[in-house]
Structure 1
């Protein structure tokens, strides 16, 4: 497995692979030709950014059997998805503030993220391995009260696209079998979610194949695979949220209730 990160150091943005606290800096393109420069940086000496800059963020609804059963939802015959604004992206360690325009419930959703590495259009499930670059941790933060506020139009994209509502990272990990993974969410020190990827209705490979029949997926695009049971409201003045996936790492962020002026 290889862990890829993107960072800012001395005013410049770079990328590389990380082992423990060392970053081996690379030259070229993360999703194309690249090679190590020989330079090594200490993790503590750089600012970690979101590990890529997706042109599209795609989120899934009702993609786990356990949550579908709890909510008495039928198993969908095809993926149910929405688009999330790229301006919602936040990095590992970022502080996310409650939007000034919204005073309702804000919930965390710990998820597995799939990062595309090669242009993907109408690919078969068997061929998706060569198009998936790797996997990452996602917190698909949601303004829950907006979703169904207007009975004539579910507002998925709006509820999930406020600035900062799309933290992911800290790394993209390659060479990983997602079927063996579990996603944990820890809110203010208490575990709130712990569920297996194997319970997905549509596996990561199946999602990539089916979505690529609808739209071209490009290098860096992020698919958030949906969440399962345990989603909850962030109620404290300052909420510490960790999305932990063994083999990938831990995504840490804070959500603050203080409304910006």
Structure 2
């Protein structure tokens, strides 16, 4: 099942399920209760499929990238938080502020939480995962490394629009079968298997729930692997995951309008 959010031509915001290119509004995230008439998908402007209370991102969670960098495999998620105002979705224009300097894309698999989790087992965590989505965890490398005494993870990843999510949440995919691909101006720049994760989704959720309560709608980006590269204004960047779809944004220069 593919869940999405969007706006209709009359400006109404709807949440619901997409089947056969038709958007079926529901009463809310995960609800079985219909709300209004079905709408052709072509008439809906898609929004990020979830508005997370917490947007959590992981670092160093793929074997190939860890081994190339000489990093040990973590036994607990190494994570940061992205600001809620970093959220953007399909078709957005994402400004690269002058203060951000050098910026890179990071194509990632996103986990969407479906029920409250606190100190849950791996087995219970598996049941708490609502579904999966595409994430582009855009990052300012210049800001991240500007101060040798304090890597600025939150600031470097929280510029407006730097948390690209979409186009849908798929509740039926098997994460082990997925490949995360990034196209820049239509050219493949990153492609790696989700199965190369060090900490798999259910274990990520279980371990994070030891640190904080996870709530329905919280989003966890599983980290990226090899191939992340710099991007500039004018570039179209799309994260594709077979079975989920693709979410594309265009990078822009705010000084040029």
For this structure pair, what is the TM-score category when the shorter chain's length is used for normalisation? over 0.9
Aligned to 2:62: 64
TM-score normalised by L of structure 1: 0.94
User: Bigger shift: 159-168 or 72-81?
Assistant: 72-81
Taking the aligned partners of 1:77 and 1:219, their CA distance within structure 2 comes to 25
Residue of structure 2 aligned with 1:242, choices 238, 245, 248: 238
Deviation of 1:260 (Å): 6.0
User: Bigger shift: 246-255 or 36-45?
Assistant: 36-45
Deviation of 1:36 (Å): 2.6
Taking the aligned partners of 1:101 and 1:55, their CA distance within structure 2 comes to 26
Aligned to 2:117: 120
> What is the CA deviation profile of residues 24-75 of structure 1, one whole-angstrom value per residue up to 9, with x for unaligned ones?
122x2213x4323462112222221110110000000000000011112121
Alignment check: 8 A CA contact 1:97 1:260 kept: no
Deviation of 1:76 (Å): 1.8
Residue of structure 2 aligned with 1:183, choices 169, 180, 183: 180
Aligned to 1:22: 22
Query: In the comparison of the two structures, how many residue pairs are matched?
Result: 256
> What is the CA deviation profile of residues 145-199 of structure 1, one whole-angstrom value per residue up to 9, with x for unaligned ones?
1112101111000000000000100100002211111100111121111111110
Taking the aligned partners of 1:82 and 1:160, their CA distance within structure 2 comes to 9
Alignment check: 8 A CA contact 2:110 2:220 kept: yes
Taking the aligned partners of 2:34 and 2:244, their CA distance within structure 1 comes to 21
Residue of structure 1 aligned with 2:211, choices 206, 210, 214: 214
> What is the CA deviation profile of residues 88-147 of structure 1, one whole-angstrom value per residue up to 9, with x for unaligned ones?
000111110112433x11100000000001001111111112211100000000011111
The answer as to 2:4 corresponding to 1:5 is: yes
The answer as to 2:94 corresponding to 1:96 is: yes
RMSD: 1.4
TM-score normalised by L of structure 2: 0.95
Taking the aligned partners of 1:81 and 1:117, their CA distance within structure 2 comes to 20
Gaps of 5+ in 1: none
> What is the CA deviation profile of residues 218-254 of structure 1, one whole-angstrom value per residue up to 9, with x for unaligned ones?
010000000000000013x401111110110111111
Greater fraction of residues in strand: 1
Deviation of 1:257 (Å): 3.4
Taking the aligned partners of 2:71 and 2:113, their CA distance within structure 1 comes to 29
Distance 1:105 1:130, change over 3 A: same
Alignment check: 8 A CA contact 1:183 1:195 kept: yes
Aligned to 1:110: 107
